[in-house]
Amino acid sequence: MSKRPTTKGRPPAASAIAPVKLLSGGNPQIAKADGHAPVLAYIAAMPEWKRAVGERIDQLIADELPEVERAVKWNSPLWGCPGRGWFLGLHCFKAYIKLAFFKGASLKPPPPVAAADPDTRYLHLHSMDDLDEAVFRTWIRQARRLEGWHASKPKGRS
């Protein structure tokens, strides 16, 4: 009986995910899935300068939160804390990347763009230069202590 190679402790290669199509506005279409592999596939499919920004965001989050959970839902990668929910979502648009901090109103300083949901705050990145890594790292450290967004809970319920 031969042993099969394992990826335990390592995410599968992004190339193991089905080919990706870009939707209007340049957002990669990725099937809903949990884990690092679909997030890597999404990032690999991000067009132009956005790919380098996506890679850097994923790395900064992993540096600050080694136990981070990842998933792709609704064609957007999500990052979360085990047992605490999702704290960040990313979405590509033609001219920028939108980072959604689901409890961003509780972060100090809060991300600059308000959302319809009073808890959520956005950061719009038009280039790598728009990412202040020191501030982003503080947001990740703060977010890990907050209860995140849970996709399975109806809005308005705890």
Residue 7's pLDDT is what? Answer: 37
Q: What CATH architecture does domain 23-143 belong to?
A: Alpha-Beta Complex (3.90)
Mean pLDDT, rounded, for 91-109: 96
pLDDT (tens digit per residue) in 23-76: 777 788 888 999 999 999 999 999 989 999 999 999 999 999 999 999 999 889
Residue 51's pLDDT is what? Answer: 95
Please state, in angstroms and rounded to a whole number, the distance separating the CA atoms of residues 38 and 8. 16
**Is residue 122's pLDDT more than 60?**
yes
Domain ranges of the chain: 23-143
| Sequence-separated (6 or more) residues with CB below 8 Å from residue 41 | 14, 15, 17, 20, 28, 30, 72
The whole-model pTM stands at 0.81
Contact 41, 20 (CB under 8 A): yes
Residue 151's pLDDT is what? Answer: 61
- Per-chain mean pLDDT for the chain: 85
> 16: pLDDT confidence band, cut at 50, 70 and 90?
very low
